[in-house]
Amino acid sequence: MRRVPTPRPSTTATIVLTNKGSYSCKLGGFPGVDLTSVNGGQRWSPVRSSQKWSSMAVEAGQSTEFTLNLAFAKEEEGFYQPAWVEITPPNETEALKIEWPWESDTLVDQRSATHPGTFVNPIG
């Protein structure tokens, strides 16, 4: 039996990062985002957008955010089903691993595309 992805338009997901430390930190650039698939653990690191970024101070207890543009699949072939999302803030080495929140939705498989519809925007 073949699973047909749920048709869904593209969307933008906002990811909020909170400084849980006791001091302010300087943050800027692009977070690392890695998707891991359900079928064999294939990894996909979405490309970065062409948006400009600048450094910013994030005070203790304060938050900043970034967006992830997602191109959901509309057809049976050429899709990628993530199971996990790993997010690594700029200049950090430890990733936060969360389950893919759109369980039944798959992405258009554009891992080798020049201008994919799934991409990461900078923080801030």
pTM recorded for the entire structure:
0.83
In-domain check, residue 6:
no
> Which pLDDT score is estimated for 6?
47
Range of the domain at 114: 11-123
> Which pLDDT score is estimated for 77?
56
**pLDDT tens digits for 65-104?**
999 999 988 766 568 889 999 999 998 899 999 998 887 7
In-domain check, residue 100:
yes
First and final C-alpha spacing in the chain: 44
In-domain check, residue 1:
no
In-domain check, residue 2:
no
In-domain check, residue 103:
yes
In-domain check, residue 38:
yes
Domain count, the chain: 1
* Cβ atoms < 10 Å from Cβ of 100: 18
**pLDDT tens digits for 31-55?**
999 999 876 678 999 999 999 999 9
Distance, in Å, from the CA atom of 11 to the CA atom of 83, rounded to the nearest integer, reads 18
